[in-house]
Amino acid sequence: MFFRSSSILVRSHAKINVSLRVLGKNTADYHLLEMFNVPLELHDALEIDMAPDSDESFITVDDIALKHHMRANICTKALNAMRERFNFREHFMIKIHKEIPFAAGLGGGSSNAAALMRGIVDLLHLNTNVEELMNIGKDIGADVPFFLMNKPAIVKGIGEIVLPVNCQKTYFCLLIKPDDGLATKDVFEKYDQIGLETHDSNVQDIAEAFKEGRLNDLSVLRINDLEKPAISLLPEIQNLIDSLQEEKVPVVGMTGSGSTVFALFENFKTAKEIAKKYIRTDKYTVFLTRTMM
């Protein structure tokens, strides 16, 4: 007799953009990007329960500050897209347990959407594969295809091209988020206003430096084209970058559109000692986590 579980718990990981370059815009006026993204052990958790007696699905978030924000909306979008593609009738109670901060550049909303898609596939035993899910995901959110793959990857286009990078090296990752967040839309608008120069592609070199543990090279090679516009909106980002660089941290930068600043370490003791200096203040949200392979 076939048994199907009525509930599932799915991890929803954060990410950092080790590098992010804006290459221009496509005909639909979307920014074209070239990134090297790495998933982190830091994660939210999605509790997905079948709701056999309900004629609709419900999504809740245990952070009241996010009740009306995009995180729940993008999960609704993912659920609707999956229902349209696979034509299932089942409804769900979906509880999002939060760790990843909002408006932080860590991809929390897109990660939640990808985790929900994977959870539904497992619960309903849908006949699909990651390539098909990524094709669905690209219309849900720019980072959703990456989170469906959930491996270090070069990401291009508007997020739909995901090229996995086989990394055996992991790092300790310190994340420091100022109290204020930044909306991705605002940062890209500021980028367009500033009109920054474009750069030649070096994303392959960045990926190689990361996987081979050449942190000094990585520090020189990496760039985030959104740092300058984000700093113009929130100068505290620059203060954090300067402060960490004074600590002689090998690799420091802003992830995504901000406002989180990350630092990479090979040594846990060093990472922990530096993390303590920021945990002691009430100005920041601080996490010490690891990159994933």
Q: Would you mind telling me the total number of residues written for the chain in this entry?
A: 293
CA 101 vs CA 131, 200, 285: distances in Å: 28, 32, 8
66-69, long-range: CB within 8 Å, 24+ apart, which pairs? Answer: 66/98, 66/102, 69/102
Q: Residue 79: CA atoms inside 13 Å, Cβ hemisphere, count?
A: 19
The whole-angstrom separation of Cα 279 and Cα 86 is 46
- 21 with 225: CB under 8 angstroms? yes
- Point out the residues that are catalytic: 15, 143
Helix (H, G, I), strand (E, B) or coil at 26: coil
**Residue 106 burial class via C-beta count within 10 angstroms: exposed 0-12, middle 13-18, buried 19 and up:** buried
Nearest to 201 by CA among 155, 251, 160: 155
Q: Look up tokens 């609707």; give the residue.
A: 80
Containing H/E element for 15? strand 7-25
Distance CA 133, CA 155 (A): 16
Provide the β-strand partners of residue 176: 261, 286
Dump strand ranges (E) for 58-189: 58-61, 92-97, 153-157, 161-164, 172-178
Q: How many CB atoms lie within 10 A of CB 245?
A: 13
